[in-house]
Each structure stands twice: as C-alpha cells, then as structure tokens.
Amino acid sequence: MTRIILTLERATNNITFKQIAITMLLLKLVIIGYFGYLLTLEALNGTLEFNSNFFFFMAVGFLAQLIDGALGMAYGVSCTTLLMNYGIPAGLASASVHTSEIFTTGISGLAHIKFKNIDKPLFFKIVITGTLGAVLGAYLISGYFDGNVVKPYISAYLILLGSYIIYKGIENKKREDRNVKRAPLLALVGGFLDTIGGGGWGPIVTSNLIGQGKDPRHAIGTVNTAEFFVTYFATAVFVFILGISHWQIILGLITGGALAAPLGAFIASRINKRVLFFMVGTLIILTSAYSLYKML
C-alpha cells in the first residue's frame, strides 16, 4: 500500500494547477453537452416547464454554495434541508442536489485554485480514493440498500467532531500547518458515506483534516476542489441507473450556486482562522443535530 501511494505521489508531482483546472473544464463541457441534449429533448416534447419557484431554488443554491465555498462543507445538507422544508420530497431533493453539485463544485474549485487555497499533495491523496468511495456508494444506494440506516451514527459522530473543532479554535494555540495522517482512507470513507448517507464529504473530510491540525484555508480549498471529481463520477452512476428529471430545481440550484461560488472562495481566502474554526464547528453541530432530530 505504501509503495502504491509513493508511486502515485511521484506521478502527480509534475501535474500543475493549470492542468487540474483544464481537466475540470473539459469534464464540465462533457456534462453540459449531455444535459443540453436532454433539455432539447424535453423542450421538443413540451415537458420543460418553469414558474416562479425557479427563483426560490436559485436562492437556495446561492445560500448553500456561499456556505460551502467559505467553509468547505454543507452544500448538500443546506440544500436538502431547505428544499424539504419547502415541501420537496426527500428523494427528489437528494437527486437534484447531487446533480447540481457537478456545476457548483466545479466553479468553486476553480475559484479556490485562483485564490491558491489548494494543497496539491493533499489534493491527490484524497481525490482518487474519495472518487472510488463515492462511486461505490452511489452504485449501492441506487439499487441495494437504504442510506438512512447509517445517517444517525454519522450525525452523532459529527456533533462530537464539531465540538472538538470549536475547542481547537477557542484553544487558539499557535501551530504550524501539519501533514495529515491516513488522508486516502479518510477520503474513501468520506466519499462512500457522502453518497450512501445523502451528504457528508465536506463535514467528514474537512472536519477531520482541520481536527488533525491542517490549515483551515487549505483544508477547505483542497476538499472543495476534490469534491468536483467525487461528485462528477458519483452523479454519472446516479444518472446511468436512475435517469434525470426535475430540471427546474436542478437549474435553479446551479444558477444560484454559480453566482455564489467565487464569493465563497474569496471569503475562505480572507477570513480569520480562529473565526473559521468556530464557524465550521458550529455549522457541523447545528446541521448534524437538526438531521438527528428529524430522523428520531
């Protein structure tokens, strides 16, 4: 295992941020072309409809992506919570959020690259295994078992982890940015639980990285950029198995998220570290406690 990791590190040393950005753009062009084709079919069949609800969905996407871009987590939790409170069924909300995340995480990731919020070695440690975990989770949740079974345990764990991060911020000891342990395994678990449990890549991976002493700015930027690839390939599995519909919700979330993504990355590059620790911890506790309350 160690030899494989060392080989991957050597292979990725010469890859530049520009090449990562170009890869993201090319993948986005592929999915835009595919969605354009589907939208054209919907329009020709007369089944593509929009009304004033589109602006609500756009506002939901903007707010959720602003939080996610600045804190590196909670896009899925924020979107799903707001949509369900508006009366959207849970399954429809989850499918819409996962599809829209391809675009919002792509824009957010490019913005983080621009603001130099990325730790390149860490990025390659988490993006490959994170994607593998997400694809496996998407395949299983699409046809084999219910992800709601593990949600209460994830939420309880995140409440404890959020409390620990707030403690780290209050402690406020001067510390150097440290290398994290078992990052590939952490990403594998985070990607898997994200698709099985309907969210959790950001809270699980970002929270653990910060808890281990990683600079919050680089932890958020790196995890947010890797999330594009994690979401992209997981959504490909969802689309292949389950298909796609509900365009009004998807396009509303995409539009709002696209507008908020650069602003969230800018906030992450400027905000005080101690404040960031407190905000991340508080956000995890509130969202996880709410999810646990809804499930119980």
**How confident is residue 237, by pLDDT bands cut at 50, 70 and 90?**
confident
**R_g of the chain, CA atoms, integer Å:** 18
**How confident is residue 9, by pLDDT bands cut at 50, 70 and 90?**
low
Report whether pLDDT(123) > 90: yes
pLDDT, tens digit, 9 for 90 and up, residues 246-256:
788 888 998 99
140 close to 280: Cβ distance less than 8 angstroms: no
Answer yes or no: is 5 within a domain: no
**How confident is residue 76, by pLDDT bands cut at 50, 70 and 90?**
confident
pLDDT, tens digit, 9 for 90 and up, residues 128-141:
999 999 999 888 87
Instruction: Measure the CA–CA gap between 28 and 33, rounded to whole angstroms.
Output: 8
- The closest alpha carbon to 259, from 110, 113, 107, belongs to 107
Answer yes or no: is 8 within a domain: no
> Which structural domain range is residue 119 located in?
17-295
Report whether pLDDT(143) > 80: no
Return the pLDDT at 147. 59
pTM of full prediction above 0.75: yes
pLDDT, tens digit, 9 for 90 and up, residues 25-44:
999 899 889 888 888 888 88
Number of domains present in the structure of the chain: 1
Answer yes or no: is 6 within a domain: no
102 close to 228: Cβ distance less than 8 angstroms: yes
Token pair recorded at residue 252: 């509303």
pLDDT, tens digit, 9 for 90 and up, residues 146-192:
656 766 777 787 788 778 778 767 766 555 556 677 899 999 999 99
Answer yes or no: is 167 within a domain: yes
Report whether pLDDT(245) > 70: no
Q: What is the pLDDT averaged over residues 62-89?
A: 76
Residue with tokens 């824009």: 107
Burial 96-128 (b: 16+ CB within 10 A, else e): bbbbbbbbbbbbbbbbbbebebbbbebbbbbbb
